[in-house]
Amino acid sequence: MQWNSLILSLDFLSPQEWEAVRLTLIVAARSVAMALPFALLCAWVLARCRFTGRAVLDVLVHLPAVLPPVVVGWLLLLLFGLHGPIGAWLMSWFGIRLVFTSTGASLACAVMSFPMMVRTMRLSLDAVDPGLEQAARTLGAGPIDRLLSVTLPLAIPGILAATIAGFALSLGEFGAVITFAANIPGQTQTLPLAIYSALETPGGEATAARLSLVSVALAFAGLFASEFASRRLRVVLGR
Amino acid sequence: MSLSIRFRHAFTDLPLDIALDAPTPGTTVLFGRSGSGKSTIIAAVAGLLRPADCRIVIDDVTLVDTATGQFMPPEHRRIGLVFQDSRLFPHMTVATNLRYGLRRAPNGPIGFDDVVDLLGIAGLLDRRPHSLSGGEKSRVAIGRALLSQPRLLCMDEPLASLDAQHKAEIVPYLGRLKHALQLPILYVTHALDEVVRLADTLVLIRAGRVLAAGPLEAIVARGDLPLAARDDAAAVLSARVVAHEPERQLTELRAGGRSLLVPLLDNPPGSAVRVRIPAREVILAAAAPQGISVHNVIAGTVHGIVQDPGRHAAMVEIALDDAGLLARVTPDAVTRLGLAAGTPVLALVKSMAVEILPD
């Protein structure tokens, strides 16, 4: 195999392999879009609010990180399957089916990357000095105003880090996706699933190697983007 | 118009029971040691603290009254608060910091350009807080609070974190602010030099209670308060420039209904100054002395005598028309002159011992 041609030519991947890469990026992007608002809300509630049941919420948020991914996938099947309480409701009201679809794959990735995203954002929200929020308050800023003008801008590095971490985790999620969304080429077969299938197929090592290389490249790109962005932000925020 | 603060709040280490009234506009200084509860009073006024039992009214606006269940949230109070640690927003430029409160406030009399001028921060507008010195941060924080068009400006030891040089840089700005804006100011400090420079009303706080409160001149002229037990105990008098005598290199002031000669000043006749007369520089006499360098022989009446056994001294309170002097003398001098409350006495004050405070 020629490294030059591998890197330079666009056709070093077969159309099916390109499809897996494209699908993976779309699934990961949607996963982040689904998880981000809820993760931010959870992080904010855990960082700033004191209420009974806070410990329960904390545990619930972290559950996907400690459960086997297959169990998470199966629980999603129970909840969002066509006969599950939420799945049946989504189907009858909106005609949305999640099982065995790429949206379902995104949901599985979103749930799996949720704990990491919440954790990262919570750390950055904790690092925002409550004294600055008090100062904003005495200057006439209400709760939403304070959140938008002081808290979130100061927590942006952490929010960005969480977004990139969530995206990267979604690129690699295997167990929950294959359990909930199955392994359908072109629909739910993301990179790790495609690599797994290639390895199961006689003579598929070359495909597995090419796709693994793409995975490594994506991981590098993600980490560099995150490092670059956080440096730029540190300059802007004056840290 | 007035500012009225009453509250009780039980901390584990320090129960607070505060009641004070001060005229507005004017600068009310809360003076006391660290941990005496001064900052808690500011936090209650700003609404960042909700005492169990509390009533705070400023110029007929009730900020909080637990008896009627009224509580105005901090963001609606329009109390400009200057924190000890500045608390500038690190992600905004100085100009954006300054406009933060301005944009959220109703239209008011305090303009952006005026504040920038007053505080001398025109050159800083595009900078970010992390590149400012401590003194510059303090000035920007004061400007930001002023531009929120506050009904009361609260300053919680705004100079405590500064070294002497930066402090000297800020104090003149505070003096200008007081006169230029006619804004009620509530100022917390444990530094006496800031008190004598800035206070109109002085409130002494000790262990969560108001020890004494009143006009600055009246409080510092009392011999029974902790202020008089300090080495640098001194009377502070409001004075007016009467005339200059350039050939004698003297200026005549009028204070407490008496005339006072001091080394020549620049202030125009008619202008107000504050003078500080240290208690240990005042000599008492029963009869006017002859052939002596002292210019100021001030006739007064002994108001009270407070013994100070630790120093083997006595603090003599001398009443003038509408002011007072303090003299720290030996108990023996008190006996020899036969001083007691009501005795007429002459206070001898060297011109050189009179400290002029810019007003």
The Cα B163–Cα B202 span in angstroms is 24
Contacts of residue A150 in chain B, CB cutoff 8 Å? 89
CB contacts of B47 in chain A (<8 Å) are: 138
Report the distance separating Cα B233 and Cα A190, nearest Å.
81
Q: What is the mean predicted confidence (pLDDT) over B207-214?
A: 91
Burial code (b: 16+ CB inside 10 Å, e: under 16) for A197-216 equals bbeeeeebeebbebbeebbe
Q: What is the mean pLDDT of residues B20-28?
A: 88
User: Is the CB of A148 inside 8 Å of chain B's CB atoms?
Assistant: no
> Band of the pLDDT at A8, cuts 50, 70, 90?
very low
Distances from the Cα of B294 to the Cαs of A205, B26, B279, B288, B327, in angstroms? 107, 35, 16, 11, 15
- Residues of chain B in contact with residue A137, where contact means CB-CB under 8 angstroms, are 48, 74-75
Q: Which of A129, A133, A139, A150 to probe by mutation at the B interface, max B CB count within 10 Å?
A: A139
- For B82, the closest chain A residue by CA position comes to A135
Which structure tokens are listed for A29? 């992007």
Taking alpha carbons only, the member of A57, A155, A67, A81 closest to residue A111 is: A67
Chain B residue with Cα closest to A132: B87
Residue B79 has pLDDT above 50, yes or no: yes
Stretch B176-189: mean pLDDT, rounded? 85
More confident residue, A10 or A119: A119
Residues in chain A closer than 8 A to B46 (CB atoms): 138
What pLDDT does A195 receive? 92
Task: Report whether CATH 3.30.360.10 matches the domain A14-237.
Answer: no
Report how many Cβ contacts below 8 Å link chain A to chain B.
65
- Which residue do the tokens 């008896």 mark? B67
- Cβ of A239 within 8 Å of Cβ of B90? The answer is yes
Strand arrangement, sheet containing B185-189:
B70-71, B61-65, B53-58, B2-10, B15-23, B209-215, B201-206, B27-31, B185-189, B152-156, B79-82
Mean pLDDT, rounded, for B345-359? 90
CA distance B32 to chain A (A): 24
A136–B145 CB contact, under 8 Å:
no
The amino acid at B274: R
How many angstroms away from the CA of B33 is the closest CA of chain A?
A: 23
In terms of DSSP H, where are the helices of chain B? 38-46, 74-77, 94-104, 112-119, 134-147, 164-181, 192-198, 216-220, 331-337
Q: Which helix (H) or strand (E) holds A95?
A: none
Contact A102, A23 (CB under 8 A): yes
Cβ neighbors of B279 (< 8 A, separation 6 or more) are: B228, B233, B234, B235, B315, B326, B327, B328
**Looking at the domain covering B234-357, what would its CATH class be?**
mainly beta
C-beta atoms of B91 and A140 within 8 A: no
Average pLDDT over residues B206-216: 91
Q: Phi-psi region for residue B244, left (φ > 0), alpha (ψ -120 to 50) or beta? A: beta
Q: How far is A188 from chain B (nearest CA, A)?
A: 42
Question: ipTM score of the complex?
Answer: 0.83
DSSP state of B124: G
Residue pLDDT, tens place only, A54-87? 899 999 999 999 999 999 999 999 999 888 889 8
Domain range summary for chain B, segments of one domain joined by +: 2-220, 234-357
**Residue A131 forms contact with B (CB below 8 Å):** yes
CB contact under 8 A, A154 and B144: no
Considering CB atoms only, which of A142, A150, A239 is closest to B89?
A150
Cβ atoms of residues B348 and B283 within 8 Å = yes
| Domain limits, chain A | 14-237
Instruction: List phi, psi (to 5°) of A110.
Output: -60, -45
- Where helices occur in A49-84 by DSSP H, the ranges are 54-66, 69-80
**CA B95 and chain centroid, separation:** 30
Query: Residue B128's closest chain A neighbor by CA?
Result: A238
Residue A140 has its nearest CB partner, among B75, B128, B129, at: B75
- CB-based contact A138 B80, cutoff 8 Å: yes
From chain B, which residues contact A within 8 Å (Cβ)? 46-48, 74-81, 83, 85, 87, 89-91, 100-101, 104-105, 128-131, 144-145, 148
- What CATH fold (topology level) applies to the domain B2-220? Rossmann fold (3.40.50)
Dihedral sign from CA coordinates of A137, A140, A145, A151: negative
In whole angstroms, give the CA distance from residue A215 to residue A170: 12
**Helix, strand, coil share (%) of chain B residues, nearest 5:** 30, 35, 35
pLDDT tens profile A133-183: 999 999 999 999 999 999 999 998 889 888 988 998 999 899 999 999 989
Mean pLDDT over B19-25 rounds to 88
Q: Does A71 touch chain B (CB under 8 A)?
A: no
Question: Hunting for tokens 């993301």 — which residue is that?
Answer: A190
Write the CB contacts of A13 (distance below 8 Å, at least 6 apart in sequence): A21, A210, A211, A214
Cα–Cα distance, B24 to A230 (Å, whole number): 49
Q: Extract the tokens encoding B46.
A: 């700003």
Residue B136 has pLDDT above 80, yes or no: yes
User: For the CA atoms of chain A, what is the radius of gyration?
Assistant: 20
To the nearest whole angstrom, how far is the Cα of B359 from the nearest Cα of chain A?
29
pLDDT for the residue numbered B340: 92
Residue A9 has pLDDT above 50, yes or no: no
